[in-house]
Chain A
Amino acid sequence: MAHQGEPAKLRWGELEEDDGEDLDFLLPPRQVIGPDENGIKKVIEYKFDEDGNKIKITTTTRTRKLANARLSKRAVERRSWPKFGDAVHEDVGSRLTMVSTEEILLERPKPLGSKAEEPKTAGDPLAQFQKGAVLMVCRTCGKKGDHWTSRCPYKDLAPPSEGFVDKPAASDAATATAGATKGAYVPPGLRAGAERTTGSDMRRRNDENSVRVTNLSEDTREPDLLELFRPFGPVSRVYVAIDQKTGMSRGFGFVNFVNREDAQRAINKLNGYGYDNLILRVEWATPRAN
């Protein structure tokens, strides 16, 4: 590319302003010379520079034919074969051939090392949650990404029912677990009270020293249950099943103890205990058959 005349430093931003005058029609038309037998092509253009001077720009390019050894003579000939069969009547709009809009890559398989690691991390829930740390919020101390509520080191320091007080009174079932991850979407399958067919880690947590309490009165709420079970030892979770439609208690709940002995004592003591005019039935929660 060769610039003749003053080396024009054209900035496109300034070009815009020049367009206001729009004197381009005064310029001689664009000229294209060649390409000649050597493949040299000249393009002569005229422009105004920022001072309003007319400048001539000559662009010289050489086009070289790429030696395409790959294509045989026959293949080149075939290129010009007329279409036949159904292709004859092919309308332009039929678009039989399209270039994929999606970039497809040759996806490399996972390195062997990463595959071997996966089962290991699955065994240790804490390690696995390091990845999805945002999900892990302690309901007792409010610390994010460090531990689950049931493993909170400050559990005993926290006021017993604090976790439930700031909850809306008619807490729907979802908040039992989703309360911690406020705003975050919890798939129905993972919500409390839903049939848990997946999420073995969640289930394991809920099954840990879990005590089932049935024959609860309808008025019983989670804080009441906590109050009832708290004297036996640190409680990590209290849950009362609530009917999603009516908002009424379904008459049963679960209490998780940090220590198994505490849970056993609670069962021994409270099974058959009269509570709110009903006789409680307290027993080990059986893991869901699944």
Chain B
Amino acid sequence: MRPILMKGHERPLTFLKYNRDGDLLFSCAKDHNPTVWFADNGERLGTYRGHNGAVWCCDVSKDSSRLITGSADQTAKLWNVQTGQQLFTFNFDSPARSVDFAVGDKLAVMTTDPFMELPSAIHVKRIARDPADQTGESVLLIKGPQGRINRAIWGPLNRTIISAGEDAVIRVWDSETGKLLKESDKESGHKKTVTSLAKSADGSHFLTGSLDKSARLWDTRTLTLIKTYVTERPVNAVAMSPLLDHVVLGGGQDASAVTTTDHRAGKFEAKFYDKILQEEIGGVKGHFGPINALAFNPDGKSFSSGGEDGYVRLHHFDPDYFNIKI
């Protein structure tokens, strides 16, 4: 395959997200402008201007009309996807790290970093249908985990919130009361910071990537460990194919060590693993910095990766990818 290189960002990529139809790709980077691209040919559709810091995360509503972004400028913003117009700004007292729309797009979960003595927190916000009615109040505020919460997503039927972060513990919270329902135990859990978390297409299981050089697959309801994928570098990003039983892990050595070593030593490939057999299928090379973000097109026929090098690489799979046998 010949990947499409998109060089719209001037700083390392942080997050990638496809909309539900799989025709738009949203990218966030440490520069201040989240960008939307056409997912087929990589043409840039627009940028969302207004943030004043690195943008860590984004999510798009199911009907592709609203975009929500969380940024290090201590805000999360709601955007009109089509025009790039800012609809609302949620102000926090610390950088916003992760955002996720609930099923139905009426709620959104956002996490904020520990900052200036403030602990990290998970906020649940109500998203109004009409942006004029939008308020910044939190429906629910969860505090407790030590260190940064790198990712928080909604569980099945919006009943739970799954969070993971620097303390390497995966937690499941009740989204109504904010009570801690479950947490991963020490033996089966990650040993180092969990950097990324991705739900399967049906939400029944999810994948976490960690700096302990492994990715783990968990059952959403019971929080039992299903599979472990071991790799030889820290995992910064994970994605699951909605079409085949494949998982993709992206990572690489620490960005600060890149310039001192050979580019081959960095292992900046996106590694494909068989979801069930936990065996490596192959690697896709190309980035010259660690991979920070991975996303699968909802149709499963393409995926994109964003790297520390500032490039988004959009890969449309060759036909033989779909017949790979181990």
Seen from chain A, the residues whose Cβ lies within 8 Å of a Cβ on chain B are 70-72, 74-75, 78-79, 81, 83-88, 90, 96-109
Contacts and interface: CB of A to CB of B under 8 A. Distances in A.
B48 to A, nearest CB: 6
Report the 5 A-B pairs with minimum CB-CB distance, sorted nearest first. A85-B47, A84-B46, A75-B23, A84-B84, A106-B282
26 contacts: A70-B299, A71-B21, A72-B21, A75-B22, A78-B23, A78-B64, A79-B38, A81-B45, A84-B45, A84-B83, A85-B47, A85-B49, A86-B49, A90-B44, A96-B7, A97-B37, A97-B42, A98-B7, A99-B2, A99-B4, A100-B5, A102-B2, A104-B3, A106-B318, A107-B282, A109-B281
B286 A71 contact: no
Interface string B29-46: 000010101100111111
A85 B33 contact: yes
B114 interface: no
Contacts of B257: none
A86 B47 contact: yes
Given A97-B41, A103-B1, A108 B282 contact: yes
B72 interface: no
Given A99-B4, A108-B281, A109-B282, A83 B46 contact: yes
Interface in B254-285: 269, 272, 280-285
A152 B94 CA distance: 74
A260 B284 CA distance: 52
B315 interface: yes
B29 to A, nearest CB: 13
A100 B3 contact: yes
B6 interface: yes
A87 B47 contact: yes
A171 B14 CA distance: 59
Contacts of B285: 104, 107
A107 B8 CA distance: 27
Contacts of A103: 1-2
Contacts of B38: 79
Nearest to A88: B46
